[in-house]
Chain A
Amino acid sequence: MSKYNGMELMICLASRYLENDSTVILSTGAQCAAAMLAQKTRAPQLLILFEAGGIGPLLVSMPLSVGDSRTYYRGLASTSMTEIMETCQRGMIDYNFAEAAQIDMFGNINSIDSDPYEKPGALFTSRGGSNDLASFCWKTMVIMPHDQNRFTNNINLITSPGFLTGKGAREKAGLPADSGPYKIITNLAVLGFEKENCRMRVESVHPDVTREQIIENTDFELLWADEIFESVPPSEQELEILRTEIDPRRDIIGRSQSPVKL
């Protein structure tokens, strides 16, 4: 088995949750690599959309922004922001990836760069369409580094909705029913959510990672699934495709397991 780094592992794990014949709306970075990998392995009919209007591109390289012409290169349609967002609001988009600087135990997200020299609130930006996508898409996933400052219930602001205050809270707030956070993929583990109380739980632990490490790096009490698996490492084929076809310049995988660029 080849050696792999944390970023490669996270991308491979994320890609395996994207099912064939489903729809995913993408931003740039690790999530884009994950979707491309899914298309080139088990999910050739995964439909990729970008929020500025691109539908079904044949992604030859990773776009620089969600609006550049790579997002509809040889695509099925080049449409508009409202067309894509209305498709999401109508319930036809299965997956999205939220960018998170912080996340709490209900999967609520603060996607603001939590730069220490900024006073909270001084630099307030709502990060494009992330609030919309986490509101509308059926399943929201997150790829992020795992540490105490990021996995905390003391988040400055909720910029994208998770399960808010628990079961039923999204619906009460007016958000689409039965949508919400799905999988959180970190450099230590894959986490999901308990059905009954919507709290974050560990579902698989990465090779060479201990339970203690995960607990130490999480600022709130984690739940644990009844059966905890060891995360399946990248296969030779996945690594080969990722390194030679998707990210030959190592723009994303070169970041190793250092913080996912927001």
Chain B
Amino acid sequence: MAKKITDSYGHGVQQVGYEKVGKKRLFTDPDADIARKHFHTKSRRMINKTTTLKEAVGKFVHNGCYFAAGGFGSNRIPVAVLHEIVRQKKKNLGFAAQGSTHDLQILLAGQCINRCDTVYSEGLKSGGISTVYRNKYKKNEIETTEWSNATLAWRFKAAAMGLSFLPARSLLGTDIINHSAAVEIPCPFTGKKYAALPALYPDVAAIHVHRSDIYGNCHIMGIAVSDLDLARAAKKLIITAEKIIHNDEIRQSPDSTAIPYYLVDAVIEVPYGAYPSNMPYKYFTDEDHLMDWMKTEQNEDDYKRFIDKNIYNCANHWDYLNINGGLEHLNNLRALETLTDRR
């Protein structure tokens, strides 16, 4: 059986033997040659890329572009960048919501997104479902295409590999595949059925890391989640780092480099840049703050006041940290993370 499929980007490809196509829209072009063309032009110069949040977001996050955030839900997410995106009132962004909870919550606060590759994105697992998220979805204000954690991670991996798709053995047989943009294909060697996952090349991604040098060579501690592939898949990459280190430190342990400089377009030093999410070995999640956020969502006035106070009225991430207890509070989160009793 042969049928013509045309995807949202007009690639009319002759598919042989496919059986089912996910009915939802593909938000990014999976074409590997288009991606190569971009990566061909990406600078290889090892130059000082340090900048400010304001400049980086202003320069690389454009209205309507497709954005992805590193980390996982409430763990090592690039909060400082997300707040800046809201402050700069970026609109109509596409978003890859992998295990997304608080990152999506921040972007929803700014009404920044209108389409979303979604996996698990309904607020906080321990805290229930975000009211704002619920309302947006009920009103169909955000167009969604469904995936699963593995399939979205492999979509980044396909892009990182410079491909247009990867086959996988999940989504199959369930209703999820109908709400995705995957295609069922037979294996040319065994004849067994696979879900073909289109590569995801985001226009821009932001990742918060432990250490980076001024060129963008980065160290990440703890789990990488999907960030190694995301860093390679993204056309532009903004790095926020807990600490800027000397290039000598990178060269002393090259095996620790998770992201090499040529992937990176901007580097910003933002201590506690993942607060209130968990930064491995540095500080634990501020559960109380996240619960407050969830609670205020239930009342429109409270919610507006809360977002004004925590995002719009903050000039930068320092302001946000300071109004939420400052260094003393952060030190308590450090004790929680390292499981040490401190007197």
User: Which residues from chain A sit less than 8 Å from chain B, CB to CB?
Assistant: 28, 51-54, 60, 64-69, 71-73, 78-82, 85, 88-89, 108, 113, 118-119, 122-132, 135-136, 157-161, 164, 169-170, 172-176
For residue B287, which residues in chain A have a CB less than 8 angstroms away from its CB? 64
Complex CA distance for A176 and B169, rounded to whole angstroms: 7
Complex CA distance for A72 and B192, rounded to whole angstroms: 35
Report whether A128 and B148 are in contact in the complex, using a CB–CB cutoff of 8 Å. yes
Report whether B175 and A67 are in contact in the complex, using a CB–CB cutoff of 8 Å. no
Complex CA distance for A118 and B72, rounded to whole angstroms: 26
Complex CA distance for A255 and B127, rounded to whole angstroms: 15
B6 within 8 A of A: no
For residue A71, which residues in chain B have a CB less than 8 angstroms away from its CB? 223
Q: List 15 A-B contacts (CB under 8 A).
A: A28-B125, A28-B126, A53-B223, A65-B101, A66-B72, A72-B222, A79-B223, A113-B129, A125-B146, A127-B120, A157-B176, A158-B175, A159-B174, A159-B176, A160-B174
B29 within 8 A of A: no
Complex CA distance for A212 and B129, rounded to whole angstroms: 35
Q: How far is the CB of A51 from chain B (nearest CB, A)?
A: 6
The 8 Å CB contact of B174, one of A66, A85, A119, A161, is: A161
For residue A82, which residues in chain B have a CB less than 8 angstroms away from its CB? 150, 153-154, 157, 226, 229
Given the contacts A53-B223, A79-B223, A81-B150, A65 and B174 also touching, CB distance less than 8 Å: no
Report whether A68 and B170 are in contact in the complex, using a CB–CB cutoff of 8 Å. no
Given the contacts A72-B223, A81-B226, A129 and B169 also touching, CB distance less than 8 Å: no
**Nearest-CB residue, chain B, relative to A119:** B138
B168 within 8 A of A: yes
Complex CA distance for A159 and B101, rounded to whole angstroms: 19
Report whether A126 and B173 are in contact in the complex, using a CB–CB cutoff of 8 Å. no
For residue B193, which residues in chain A have a CB less than 8 angstroms away from its CB? 172-174
**Nearest-CB residue, chain A, relative to B177:** A131
Complex CA distance for A85 and B229, rounded to whole angstroms: 14
Report whether A80 and B223 are in contact in the complex, using a CB–CB cutoff of 8 Å. yes
Given the contacts A119-B138, A128-B119, A89 and B148 also touching, CB distance less than 8 Å: no
Report whether A123 and B223 are in contact in the complex, using a CB–CB cutoff of 8 Å. no
Report whether B72 and A52 are in contact in the complex, using a CB–CB cutoff of 8 Å. yes
Q: How far is the CB of A50 from chain B (nearest CB, A)?
A: 8
Report whether A51 and B138 are in contact in the complex, using a CB–CB cutoff of 8 Å. no
Q: How far is the CB of A85 from chain B (nearest CB, A)?
A: 4
Complex CA distance for A79 and B153, rounded to whole angstroms: 13
Report whether A122 and B148 are in contact in the complex, using a CB–CB cutoff of 8 Å. no
Q: How far is the CB of B207 from chain A (nearest CB, A)?
A: 13
**Nearest-CB residue, chain A, relative to B229:** A82
Report whether B174 and A89 are in contact in the complex, using a CB–CB cutoff of 8 Å. no
Q: How far is the CB of A39 from chain B (nearest CB, A)?
A: 18
For residue B176, which residues in chain A have a CB less than 8 angstroms away from its CB? 126, 131, 157-159
B99 within 8 A of A: yes
Report whether B285 and A161 are in contact in the complex, using a CB–CB cutoff of 8 Å. no
Report whether B120 and A53 are in contact in the complex, using a CB–CB cutoff of 8 Å. no
Q: How far is the CB of B273 from chain A (nearest CB, A)?
A: 16
Q: How far is the CB of B86 from chain A (nearest CB, A)?
A: 23
Q: How far is the CB of B199 from chain A (nearest CB, A)?
A: 14
Complex CA distance for A88 and B154, rounded to whole angstroms: 14
The 8 Å CB contact of A85, one of B101, B138, B149, is: B149
For residue A81, which residues in chain B have a CB less than 8 angstroms away from its CB? 72, 98, 149-150, 153, 225-226
For residue B67, which residues in chain A have a CB less than 8 angstroms away from its CB? none
Please indicate which of the listed interface residues B126, B151, B223, B339 has the most CB atoms of chain A within 10 Å of its own CB.
B223
For residue A118, which residues in chain B have a CB less than 8 angstroms away from its CB? 134, 138
Report whether A129 and B137 are in contact in the complex, using a CB–CB cutoff of 8 Å. no
Which of B113-160 touch A at CB < 8 Å? 118-122, 125-126, 129, 134, 137-138, 140, 144, 146-151, 153-154, 157
Given the contacts A53-B225, A72-B223, A85 and B150 also touching, CB distance less than 8 Å: yes
Complex CA distance for A71 and B49, rounded to whole angstroms: 34
Contact with A along B186-220 (1 / 0, CB 8 A): 00000011110000000000000000000000000
For residue B226, which residues in chain A have a CB less than 8 angstroms away from its CB? 80-82
Please indicate which of the listed interface residues B146, B171, B195 has the most CB atoms of chain A within 10 Å of its own CB.
B171
For residue A53, which residues in chain B have a CB less than 8 angstroms away from its CB? 223-225
Complex CA distance for A13 and B147, rounded to whole angstroms: 32
Complex CA distance for A108 and B335, rounded to whole angstroms: 43
The 8 Å CB contact of A125, one of B118, B151, B172, B222, is: B118
Complex CA distance for A196 and B320, rounded to whole angstroms: 60
Report whether B138 and A122 are in contact in the complex, using a CB–CB cutoff of 8 Å. yes
Report whether A68 and B75 are in contact in the complex, using a CB–CB cutoff of 8 Å. yes
For residue A169, which residues in chain B have a CB less than 8 angstroms away from its CB? 173
Complex CA distance for A67 and B224, rounded to whole angstroms: 10
Closest 7 pairs between A and B when the two form their complex, measured CB to CB: A174-B193, A53-B223, A173-B173, A129-B149, A67-B72, A128-B120, A85-B150
For residue A66, which residues in chain B have a CB less than 8 angstroms away from its CB? 72, 99
Report whether B222 and A69 are in contact in the complex, using a CB–CB cutoff of 8 Å. yes
